[in-house]
Each structure stands twice: as C-alpha cells, then as structure tokens.
Structure 1
Amino acid sequence: MAEFAAPAIRDWDFPRTAASILLMTRFGEDRGVDVVDALRGTSLAMSQLRDPGLLVDARQELAVVRNLVRELGDSAGTAIELGRRYHVTTFGIFGFACISSPTLRDAMAFSLRYLDLSFTFSIPHVAVDADKISMILHDERVPEDVAAFLVLRDLAAIYTVMRDLLPDVAFRSLDFRRAEPSTVESYVDLFGVVPAFGTEANVATLDLAFLDEPLPQANEHTVAICEEQCRELVTRKRARSGISHDVRERLVRVGGVEAGMDAVAHELAMSPRTLRRRLSEAGTSYRVLVDEVRQALAEEMLAIGALSVEDVAIRLGYAEASSFIYAFKRWKGITPAAFARRASPRGPSGR
C-alpha cells in the first residue's frame, strides 16, 4: 500500500480551540453530568468555552474526557454517541474548507495537511492500494486509560464528518485493537459493519471509488479562501505549541528530575516570568509539565519491569518512594506496583 498523504502532526499534544470541550460538556449535561464535574481539573469555566478564539491545551480536553468516562463509563455506546456529535460545522473554518472541497480525496488531503485544527487524539495515517483506502488510527501514545474510548470517539467523529461531506460513503471493514465487547450493536448502528477485535491495529477501510466522488457543496473559490485562513491559524497555533514541547524536551533529557523553572528559562533564552506567561497562554504550567513528564517516564520504566518502585522513584528525583507512590496513585488511580504487574507482558493486556 502507498501512503495517501502524511499527517501534519505525529502526536495528539497540540493546542486546539475550546469547541470540543464545549461539545463534550453539553454532551455530559444531557446525561446528567454537572458542568463543574465535567470541567474538573481543566481550570476552565463554561463562560470561557463560548469564546471562539480561546485556545486550550490538549491535556485540558483529555481531562474532560476522563471526567466523562468516570461519570458515564467507558462503554462503546457512550464513545460512539459522543463521536456522532462532531459534525463538519464543529470544526469551524477547517470544516468549511473540507465541505467546499471538490472531492473526498481533496477533503482528506486537506484534513491531513491541517490536522492540528481538529480535535483528534488518535493520529490517522491513510494508505491506498488497488481497490481500497485504509485509515489507520494510531493510539500508541494516547494514555492507556482512555485510549480505547478515544479511538472510538475519534473514528465515530471522522465517519460522521465524512457522511456530512458525502452521504453515501460507507466503511468496508473495521478492525480494533481493543478486546471484543459483549455487544457490537452500537458499532453496527453507526458504521454498518461488524468489526473485528483484538487485531494489531485500529483500521477502517472503504472502497477506493469514494475518493473521486464529487462533493455536493464543492466550491473552488470558497475552499481557497478557507485554506488561506487555515494556514494563518496553524502558523499561530504551531508557534504557541512550541513552548510546551521545548520544556518537556528538556525535562525528559534530565530524566523527569525537576531542573527548576529558572534553569529551564535560561536554556530557552527567556526570563522565568516570560516562561510562566507563555506556558499560561498555552493552557499549562511548569508544574503540570513536570508532572506529565514524570508520569510518562514512570510508566515506561515500570512497564519494562527491570526496576523496582524505589529505583524508579530515585531516577525521577523523589526523595522518598512514598512520595512517588502517592503521586503515581494521583495520576493513575493505582499503585506503581499494581501498574507494573498489569503492564507486564505476562499479565493481562488491558485491551
């Protein structure tokens, strides 16, 4: 198979508008979830979400996902119903560009080129062979506790948008890495096919003929105007997202051991005050990034199984193992030892 087009981004950690958080908060409200509970841990208020210019950190959206899963459960039905809320109009100018594209081929290429204007966590890679298109949704870097939920939400959203663009489009087959659920009714209801489960990758396929179907609302002038605006948006967003990446990169280099904001700011050729302000603008903070890097490194080291909990604590800069255990339980809801047993190749897969 040949790659159709490379996605503009390789990871889910990119800033996005608040539209998805607003959509999920309203979804939760419809199911009895209080706004305060839906937004817990995001530092956001409902009034802020109505600002179309507000950019949020991906981890703020991730917090809302976790809140909904905690309140509503992580069932396939919930993930699919949430994904069905994402119509082409949810994506603003990005969505208008897609719906104005000449064909599905053009809309897909545009979507991958400006993927960081979407709300996806599962990064799609699209390949083409003699008679079909294969869309692989990569969730390897998505946090394990919500990976299966987000793959299904993202795929349901993608399919809903594709049907907005081309009502006759249909999937040919579906594969999921997750274990087979007790019922597949919600899958069949939306996607029209019975999926395979426990596969090596999350893959959706459709007939190649759909690629060159003309879209009903195609407009060459409109799509040109929309692309220009999208180009300006991603330029601004990518400039802002760089600061979080730069700080994480330096923290990873020192093994998650906190170097101190002053030292990191000096490496980045700015004052601590400027660093604090820029991180705040990106929807995060130095303390949050330290926690995130420590969590990611802790999971990697524990999954390998070669280090004790005490060794991992020392490598991450904790003075005592008890402090690390407390922090890990706050991150994952279980002890490091329990996580290591579950992550072991000899243990359950968790899928």
Structure 2
Amino acid sequence: MNIRILFEDKKKKTPRSLKEQFMLEWYKQLGWKKNPFKTVIPKHIDDFIAGYDKDRLKINLFVIKKLNFGTIVGPPGTGKTTILKWMEYELRKYRKRVHAKLVDGSNLTGEKQTIKNILWPLLNPIEKYITKPWQVITAANIVKEVNNRLKPDHKLVFLVDNVKEISDLAQVLMRELFLANINFQLIVSGTKEEIEDSGIDQFKPQDHLRIDLSEGMPYKDLRNLVRKRIESVGGKDIKPFTEGLMKRICAEADHNPKSVLELAYNCAAEIALENWQKERIAEEERLMELRELEEAAEEESEEKEKSEKQAQAKKKKKEEEYLDLENYEEVKGSGARARARRLEQEKKIQDFFDKVKKNLGEI
C-alpha cells in the first residue's frame, strides 16, 4: 500500500526534468544564478579581475609619477579593455583629485563628440545634463577650457580603448593638451598595428607604460578568473570543471582570456545538458520501476481480495448449510413429539374403551 501511495504522489506532480523537453537556462542545472561566462565586463570589475598583477602595478606607478603617455598592446581578447575598465573603476575612488574617463575610440570622431568626452570628467552634474557647454566650446579653445577647469593639484586621466577608430581631429586635440603642459595623462589600447596605424604615438613617441599582453595569461591567473566568475553566481571553485579539463580549455584558447571564457561557456553548457539528460533517464527508470512495483502491488491486492471473497463465500455457504441442518433437526424433533402425543392419546382412548367393555361384561 505504501508503494502505491508513493507512486500516486509522483503521478500527481510530474518531475520538472520530465516536463521540460528543451533547456535554455542551462546554468540552473549547475546550481548557478546566471551564466558567469558572458564576455561583457562586470560592473564591479574589482571583484572579477584576475592576473595582470605586474601590469596593474605599472599602471599604478604611471599615475603616481604623472607620466603622460602609455600604451596597452595585445591581440583581441587578451584583456586590454578589462585593464582600462579596472583602472577607471579604481581611479573613481580618488575622483576629488583624479578625473578619469574611459572612452571607445569610435566616440572620438566628430568635433562636438570629442570635446564632450574630453571635458566630461571635469563637468558638474548641471553642466553634464542641462547646460551642456561642449555644444558651444570649439576645438580652438579646448585647451583653455581644460586648463581653467583643472585645479593645479588635480589630473585628467584619459583612457582610449580601440584607438584605431579615433579621428585626426581627436589626435590634434590631444597633441595640443600635451604641448600645453597640462596635468594630462593618456593611455591608449589596441593591437601593435592599430596603434602604429592610428599615428597617435607620433606626437608623443616616448611610451612610459608599454604593457604587452601578446603572450596571453598564465594558467594560474586564468583558473582564478574562471573561479571568481563561477563563485560570483553561487558555484564553488571551478566546478564542474576538473583541473585537467581547465588546463585543456586554456591550452585550446591559447591562454587568451576572452577565448577561455567562451570555451568555458561551451563546456559548462554541454556538461549541464549531459547531466540533465542523465537525470531525465534516471527519473524515467525510477518511475518505470515504481509502475512495475505498483502493478505488482495491484495484482497482489486483487489476489488477496479474490481470496477474501472466496473465503467469505465459503463461510456463507457453510453458515447456510448449518442453518438448513438446524431447521431440519428442529422440524424432525417437532414431528416425533407430535406422534408421541398422538400415540399417547390413542392409548388413552383404547384404555377407556377397554375399561367400558369390562364394566359392561360385569353387568
């Protein structure tokens, strides 16, 4: 009976793994809140960045020493944008003295757009969203505007990602800022060829930073990168990856951080779907076993019910036979008594007539 109850409870609520025939939120199968391997750089990058220890130290010294020009070089996906975003994030903590701005080179094309991005970290909220002074400021007086807004002990740190997209006008404006001897620091990123083709290093040839990410990231740092992302969504260490699988992913990605995240995403999704499929098969087998047990329980119950009915019918028949026998004995006893009474009466009558005859004879 307990087996049947268990089976009926399972039938009332079909397991989710059997209801679903298609899975999109694969990460939930691994116990994660969301996909940790999106190549979009997280907002709170300080909690996610891994590696680049020596490079981040060089950047720190670059800012402290007030050096004016530096480059971050490397193929796509090696972490150039990550380092720049980390730098902007960290410098926000010192925004009262350091005015940092990260901008993509594609946003340094038109005159107004370029002026807006250069001035943006120096503007107050009213200027940013109401008066918008960049609409009237021209390239001819941009240096004067920056100089007037930048206090002597303050610095403007301009970070340009994807430098190949900047316009000639943007290069001219930044050159003028350098020549004006303003406390202005510029770091640009791109591939070696992109930086050379942009021509931006020609007006300030001395590179005081030169971070080269071409060799990729060491395994230890890549593992740490993956671990941080997995733990940020509720996972533990690098699970479901083993050390062997993690090393193969890094090798296949040629130690490129972005490629590692993409491969980790693919592997994790495959593992999740395989686990899901195994669970479905196990659940189906379990339910099949429950069905078989339930059918066996039903057959046993039917046999028991049948035996009970047969026993009851047999008992009833015996009871009926007993009642018939009892009635018979009762009827039989009543007839014998009646005959005895009749014989007794006949004897009394005979005795009476015999007595009468005797009396008549004496007369």
Confirm or deny a common fold (TM above 0.5): no
| Larger RCO of the pair (alpha carbons < 8 Å, separation 6+) | 2
| Higher percent of residues as helix | 2
Give the shorter-chain TM-score range.
Answer: under 0.3
